[in-house]
Amino acid sequence: MSVSEQRVLSIARLPESSLVAAATFMADYLEEARALLSDDAVVTLVVALPAAGPEHKDWRTAIARDLAREYAPKRVNVAAGAPGKSLEEVLAYLGNAPGVTGHYVEAHD
């Protein structure tokens, strides 16, 4: 699979509080992710989120895991990081790693 076949749902901002950020994702972006995954042309989806502290890891991992299970055999991952080279490298890796699904991956500069 090439990066060009990968769909990315980019979310530029979320609240700093992990609880509020999770609720915001569920209310504002979950249905968009599901709509993308329901499209027969979409085989791989990466939800790209802004960088956040370690208190966000659990809900982000749950999103990746649960969407991947629900939409298998499609691949779903969540990536986080500031826009730039590191995040682009993570997206490129995920686009070329057909066995990777259901993971939360953080890009670090």
Q: How far apart are CA 82 and CA 66, in angstroms?
A: 24
Question: Domain spans of the chain?
Answer: 3-106
Tokens of 95: 């686009």
Residue 50: other Cβ atoms inside 10 A: 17
Question: Over the stretch 63-97, which tens digit does the pLDDT of each residue have?
Answer: 999 999 999 999 999 999 999 999 999 999 999 99
Q: How far apart are CA 60 and CA 41, in angstroms?
A: 25
For tokens 């960088």, what's the residue? 51
Question: Over the stretch 23-66, which tens digit does the pLDDT of each residue have?
Answer: 999 999 999 999 999 999 999 999 999 999 999 999 999 999 99
